[in-house]
Structure 1
């Protein structure tokens, strides 16, 4: 259990999945890969937390989909909300930033897989952009 004092809560649209994060969240990384396009309509805005700091409070709707041999994605089987991206061999879990109740203080720190981004998507701001993965170049990538 983390003792940083930071606590965040979130969940799906219908309430069939609720979670709490006891600890810090990484800044938001917008993933423009083709899988995120299919799941989110354009890109996925992911924050991240240590897996050990995430507690599932309500799981009746939680479903997991193995989207590749590297990761699985968590979503609500009742309302369809995308919630998590969980890599197999990393200590952190990606959390869809929009699923947080109050994502106060979060800001976009980078864009990944911009080489695959939708043609209609415009990227604004000065956050770093990577053609593929950030490969550890962003704060919090080590999670």
Structure 2
């Protein structure tokens, strides 16, 4: 089991099951939400249990997805694609050792001009499907 939370503790959660390797998203929305790019893992919804949701607020960020954040400390925590049975979770919100590794960067065409991606990991211009 893996646990996680926002900074102030108004949102806490537990994860069972396998987590996807971390994907770094450089899209404009992720950069605006996080202040930089957003690094997230993912888990099937049935393996995510939100223990304390007193500070959790969902924001409809597009016509196909929503983002979960804490109203107390402002932490960006979750991203859910409509119709998908999975939740992306900000890797920085996880407690302790995760043994996760970043596997790739997506939406690199939208990255900020103030930084370079130089870690040698695969870079995808868009979201990572076969049209990229």
After TM superposition, the structure 1 stretch with the greater mean CA deviation from structure 2, 65-74 or 127-136, is 127-136
Q: For residue 37 of structure 1, give the secondary structure of its aligned residue in structure 2.
A: helix
Matches within 5 A, 1:1-143: 7-135=1-129
Q: For residue 121 of structure 1, give the secondary structure of its aligned residue in structure 2.
A: coil
* C-alpha RMSD of matched pairs (Å): 1.1
After TM superposition, the structure 1 stretch with the greater mean CA deviation from structure 2, 107-116 or 127-136, is 127-136
1:34 Cα deviation from its structure 2 partner: 0.3
TM-score (norm 1): 0.87
Q: For residue 29 of structure 2, give the secondary structure of its aligned residue in structure 1.
A: helix
Question: 1:135–1:125: structure 2 CA closer, same or farther, 3 Å change rule?
Answer: same
- Where does the alignment leave 5 or more consecutive residues of structure 2 unmatched? none
1:90 Cα deviation from its structure 2 partner: 1.1
Task: Name the count of aligned residue pairs.
Answer: 130
- Where does the alignment leave 5 or more consecutive residues of structure 1 unmatched? 1-6, 137-143
1:125 Cα deviation from its structure 2 partner: 2.1
Which stretches of structure 1, 4 residues or longer, exceed 4 Å deviation after superposition?
A: none
1:73 Cα deviation from its structure 2 partner: 0.2
